[in-house]
Amino acid sequence: MGRAFVYVILGGGVAAGYAALEFTRRGVSQGELCIISEEPVPPYERPALSKGYLLPEAPARLPSFHTCVGANEERLTPKWYKEHGIELVLGTRVKSADVKRKTLLTAAGETISYKILIIATGARALKLEEFGVSGSNAENVCYLRDLADADRLVNVMQSCAGGNAVVIGGGYIGMECAASLVINKINVTMVFPEAHFMARLFTPKIASYYEDYYKSKGVKFIKGTVLSSFDMDSNGKVTAVNLRDGSRLPVDMVVVGIGIRPNTSLFEGQLTLEKGGIKVNGRMRTSNSSVYAVGDVAAFPVQLFGETRRLEHVDSARKSARHAVAAIMEPNKTDDFDYLPFFYSRVFTLSWQFYGDNAGEVVHFGDYSGSTIGAYWVSKGHLVGSFLEGGSKEDYEAIAKATKLKPAIEDLTELERQGLGFALTV
Ligand code: FDA
Ligand code: NAD
């Protein structure tokens, strides 16, 4: 038993939604394209899950945030896929792939064959067990990667209003979930191994600006240590968190955000891997000429840095997906992907954007006791990265443009003096 398609997208997340839109814009025919997803719903804007989805009032719910509303494009509902003759195979896990035979085998036993495959399998959340701690399955321990996780988190949160939460991990999930928990009137303690949160991106000075804001909202920080075990009651519910530094924190719930692993396992031994992801060229094509990879799972050449990178952010998922489809459908008109990395977050009433690379020396600017702060990164005499909190649309456009231009910087003190003005006039 099996079905055959010209194009198959494996995975039904952000990248899949943007790829589908691009396929229809470039003239895919009815019945040619299929999306296979383990999730039971069509592609949606995953960033909503740690923000609007967790609000206590008027929370975001599907169908309001199906792709591609996040980029102010059409909202692709189940009806849209039907009208465009795109086959959605939902609630279906692919359990093996054979790139030589160009087939995928689903957990339900169906073989789906393709002429061109786009791998858009994203990533999975790392589990505590992978760090030697057990208890991930306890009913009040939450992870956040997909809609099912978000529903669970909402339920747990509602059952412990006024109670205590420990957030494990000081990355994006930790930072955004801690803010959402506070908005839901839950007392939050954040625990992470680094000296400050968002250590992969923020400088100590930027981090302390946000940490002070979080402290003003009642959030407590325990840094430089990790979880060692949970105390459980007889129902298997976590009642306290034990840390390696010897402290014990009584809890009503736990949120874990300790990083991700790209979902590459179906293709290990079949495609070339790099940086933990599937290696692609500037056309998003893998080591097999019929297979492309996009989004969190793809390691692609970032021209600006002259280096292969794997990014875990929504803008790169959207744009890499569109680029792959352009390269597939109109190969002669499509250049290599020329991407400026872009990350952002929104917490409480704060909002920041970052462009480029956080390498080299840092110059901070703005008013770190006020509402607009920023930083530039300068490497080998050139501006390579820019960060801004509290800017206007024009300010963000200016830092993006300046970063893309990579201007030469001779005098860091002068750059600091000019601050945002530098980007606005470059
Ligand atoms: P994505 O994870 O979106 O989709 C992968 C899909 O593949 C899923 O549907 C999965 O079920 C499916 N799949 C995997 N293996 C399969 C198999 N074997 N068979 C069938 N289906 C399979 N970024 C940002 O820039 N700003 C932000 O504010 C946020 N916020 C944010 C919040 C939360 C809660 C998360 C989890 C993530 C973010 N991100 C973000 C990151 C961003 O969402 C992420 O980079 C993109 O979703 C990546 O898109 P992909 O399509 O690559 O993977
Ligand atoms: P992350 O990589 O941002 O942060 C992981 C954090 O885990 C580290 O900062 C560290 O504090 C912590 N950690 C590592 N090992 C630990 C250990 N043994 N014990 C305790 N803590 C440990 O990953 P995340 O926060 O889990 O986010 C998951 C994914 O979702 C990432 O790809 C991220 O980019 C994406 N995401 C992005 C956004 C955004 O861009 N605004 C928002 C939410 C999620």
CA distance 97 to 55: 39
What ipTM was predicted for this assembly? 0.98
Instruction: Give residue 143 CA to ligand 2 midpoint distance, Å.
Output: 11
Q: Taking every pair of C-alpha atoms in the chain, what is the biggest distance, in angstroms?
A: 68
Residue spans of alpha helices (H) in 266-411: 314-329, 393-405
- In a 13 Å sphere around the CA of 282, the CA atoms on its Cβ side amount to 12
Q: How confident is the model at residue 53 (pLDDT cuts 50, 70, 90)?
A: very high
- CA distances, 197 to each of 12, 148, 216, 355, 360 (Å): 31, 27, 16, 19, 20
Encode pLDDT of 191-210 as tens digits. 999 999 999 999 999 999 99
Does residue 121 line the site of ligand 1, with CB under 6 A? yes
pTM for the predicted model, two decimal places: 0.98
Q: Using the predicted structure, report yes or no on whether residue 119 has a pLDDT greater than 90.
A: yes
Instruction: Give residue 174 CA to ligand 2 midpoint distance, Å.
Output: 7
CA distance 162 to 379: 47
Atom of ligand 2 nearest to the CA of 175: 25
The ligand that comes nearest to the alpha carbon of residue 128 is 2
Encode pLDDT of 26-48 as tens digits. 999 999 999 999 999 999 999 99
Does residue 277 line the site of ligand 1, with CB under 6 A? no
CA distance 32 to 415: 53
